[in-house]
Amino acid sequence: MDATLWFILWLILATIIVTLILYIAVLVIVSKTKASDKKFLIILLAFICVLVIPIVLGAISTVFAIFNEIPWSDGNYLTLLIPIIGFLIILILVKFLLDVAWDNSVWISLLTLFILFLLYTLIPGLASFLGFTL
């Protein structure tokens, strides 16, 4: 199969998996009514987490890689901040898209980030196509 077709297939599959995880997390952590009221926003959040956030983090990684060229530096420790920045982006999106409390947003974001790292580990072609490498 063509590489683009594989990418679209894995993108759809990853979005469905993240959507299910987000729906279950909101169902268990927040409430059943919140999960059923925010179905479309959960799907949108899953798509953003699977496609948009890795592109943004790849761009941030490219910008932080500029600091590798500093001659007096031991190393570039800014690249270690990329997962933290990703978590904060997911946290803000969960908080304001799903309209949940901050403490619930933290748990939902942690679970989502864990599932995303698991997905990108199991499907390395998706992460490399998006330019998201650590």
pLDDT digits (tens, 9 = 90+) for 30-72: 888 888 888 899 999 999 988 888 889 888 888 888 877 777 6
What's the pLDDT score for residue 125?
64
pLDDT of residue 92: 92
Q: Which residue range(s) make up the domain with 123?
A: 3-130
Which tens digits make up the pLDDT trace of 72-100?
667 677 888 888 998 899 899 989 988 88
Indicate if the pLDDT at residue 132 is higher than 60. no
User: Quick one: which of 1, 3, 25, 2 has its CA closest to 116?
Assistant: 25
CA distance 88 to 102: 12
Closest CA to 46 of 24, 20, 15, 23: 15
Residue closest to 75 by CA, chosen among 86, 83, 84, 67:
67
pLDDT of residue 134: 45
Number of domains in the chain: 1
The answer to whether 61 and 83 have CB atoms below 8 angstroms apart is no
